[in-house]
């Protein structure tokens, strides 16, 4: 029986959604930040207890437009190489140069290395809340403040994560979340920006609609990055259950760790005290000599037994042709990327599936 690496749970909302989708279709008001998009923005704002939220077509468009709105161009952007390709793409699409910094055992960008890399050429720090584990918010904020540069968070994985009992979405200049099908809460495709900067929020609202003001005047070039009413409605019905998704995933991760911790050669991402991860992904890091096989061999074994796995993230960005930096020295990034394997984790799982996976790994 196949256990997929990810499994959206939107099918649980079919009965609730059908009349809403019918209402939207019958209204012929399908987009342009209408009723359900506004309701969805408000629901996320209330959930995060943040000042402003702006719904967009994707996390990537949210990050790109944030950089555009802040006027960050022709600069170096410090970001991790251990991330999804979209993080690096943002720097390229905004005409900036990438400056990679290494990660630490939290699998988030290491403040010490960021501090080494920051210079007069730096336009921003773009940190990632990896797998929903918050980055080093305080330390990165101090570096950004000392150098007078914006701190922006790629929070693609982190809707519902907490840093010292405060929701991610309340830090830095802006935090941008993904709502694609791999995430806990999905709008099928979509993203949302949270910010406490009123000027930035207003610019983002204009930029997502071609850069046009309501009277059709335009002072800056934007793109079509709006979220449709249908996408917003799909997200809206799930907000009430987001805490359940996060609680379940933390329970599943605790079970995984309990069962796997006794196996020689397996370690995990460190979740610091006072961090709550969403566990968008759960990954193990192998020591091939101690475990007895390498990451790829274990991956093939699991896939052969019907268990979906991914190498999140391999290759790292600095080794991809599009974003390559042959001079980058990122030893922890390389070590983790070469030995990490992501296992199935969903909003709703059977404990028996986790134990089956563990038995295969114990093997």
Strand partners, 284: 268, 341
Strand partners, 218: 212
Structural domain harbouring 85: 10-240
Give dist(CA 16, CA 23) in Å, integer.
Answer: 12
User: Tokens 């995430």 appear where?
Assistant: 183
Q: 85 is written with which tokens?
A: 């390709």
Task: Give the number of other Cβ atoms within 10 Å of residue 117's Cβ.
Answer: 19
What is the spatial order of strands in the sheet that 340-343 belongs to?
266-268, 282-286, 340-343
Q: What share of the chain is helix, strand, coil (3-state, %, to 5)?
A: 45, 15, 40
Low-confidence stretches of the chain (pLDDT beneath 70): 1
Residues 291 and 275 in one domain: yes
Residues 58 and 147 in one domain: yes
CATH of the domain at 79: 3.40.640.10
Helical ranges in 168-286 per DSSP H: 198-207, 229-236, 242-260
CATH of the domain at 267: 3.90.1150.10
Domain count, the chain: 2
Residues 113 and 185 in one domain: yes
Residues 171 and 112 in one domain: yes
Residues 224 and 154 in one domain: yes
Residue at a domain's end among 189, 206, 240: 240
Tell me the CA distances in angstroms from 346 to 8, 93, 159, one per residue in order. Answer: 7, 32, 15
Residues 60 and 207 in one domain: yes
**Structural domain includes residue 296:** yes
Tell me the CA distances in angstroms from 253 to 73, 134, 171, 281, 285, one per residue in order. Answer: 40, 16, 26, 9, 14
Residues 286 and 229 in one domain: no
Residue at a domain's end among 222, 240, 258: 240
**Of 108, 117, 172, 116, residue with least CA distance to 145:** 172
Residue at a domain's end among 240, 263, 292: 240
**Structural domain includes residue 2:** no
pLDDT tens digit string along 259-277?
999 999 999 999 999 999 9
Q: What are phi and psi of 250, to 5 degrees?
A: -65, -40
Give dist(CA 343, CA 252) in Å, integer.
Answer: 11
**Of 80, 286, 53, residue with least CA distance to 176:** 53
Q: What pLDDT sits at residue 332? A: 98
Angle subtended at Cα 78 by Cα 156 and Cα 208, rounded to the nearest 5 degrees: 45
Residues 250 and 236 in one domain: no
Helix, coil or strand: residue 361: helix
pLDDT tens digit string along 182-212?
999 999 999 999 999 999 999 999 999 999 9
Residues 27 and 109 in one domain: yes
**Structural domain includes residue 1:** no
**Structural domain includes residue 99:** yes
264 dihedral zone (left: phi>0; alpha: psi -120 to 50; beta): beta
Residues 340 and 220 in one domain: no
User: Tokens 């405060």 appear where?
Assistant: 166
Q: What count of Cα atoms within 13 Å lies in the side-chain half-sphere of residue 143?
A: 26
């Amino acid at each position: 029986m196949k256990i997929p690496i990810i499994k959206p749970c939107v099918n649980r909302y079919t009965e609730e959604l059908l009349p809403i989708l019918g209402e939207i279709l019958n209204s012929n008001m399908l987009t342009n930040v209408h009723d359900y998009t506004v309701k969805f923005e408000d629901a996320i704002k209330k959930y995060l207890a943040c000042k402003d939220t702006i719904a967009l077509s994707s996390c990537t468009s949210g990050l790109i437009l944030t950089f555009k709105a802040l006027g960050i161009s022709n600069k170096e952007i410090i970001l991790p190489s251990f991330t999804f390709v979209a993080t690096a793409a943002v720097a390229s699409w905004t005409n900036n140069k990438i400056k990679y910094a290494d990660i630490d055992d939290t699998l988030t960008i290491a403040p010490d290395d960021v501090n080494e890399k920051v210079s007069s050429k730096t336009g921003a720090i773009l940190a990632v809340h990896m797998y929903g584990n918050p980055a080093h918010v305080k330390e990165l904020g101090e570096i950004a403040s000392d150098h007078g540069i914006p701190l922006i968070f790629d929070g693609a994985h982190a809707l519902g994560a907490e840093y010292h009992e405060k929701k991610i979405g309340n830090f830095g200049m802006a935090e941008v979340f993904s709502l694609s099908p791999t995430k806990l809460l999905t709008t099928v495709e979509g993203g949302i920006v949270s910010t406490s900067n009123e000027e930035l929020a207003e610019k983002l609202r204009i930029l997502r609609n071609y850069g046009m003001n309501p009277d059709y005047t335009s002072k800056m070039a934007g793109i079509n990055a709006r979220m449709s009413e249908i996408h917003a409605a799909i997200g809206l019905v799930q907000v009430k259950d987001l805490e359940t998704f996060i609680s379940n995933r933390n329970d599943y991760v605790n079970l995984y760790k309990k069962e796997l911790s006794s196996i020689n050669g397996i370690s995990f991402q460190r979740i610091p005290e006072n961090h709550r991860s969403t566990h968008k992904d759960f990954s193990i890091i192998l020591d091939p000599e101690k475990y007895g096989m390498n990451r790829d061999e274990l991956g093939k074994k699991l896939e052969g037994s019907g268990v979906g796995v991914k190498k999140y993230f391999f290759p790292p960005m600095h080794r991809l042709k599009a974003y390559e930096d042959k001079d980058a020295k990122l030893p922890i990034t390389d070590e983790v990327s070469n030995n990490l394997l992501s296992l199935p984790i969903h909003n709703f799982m059977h404990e028996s599936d986790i134990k089956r996976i563990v038995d295969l790994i114990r093997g």
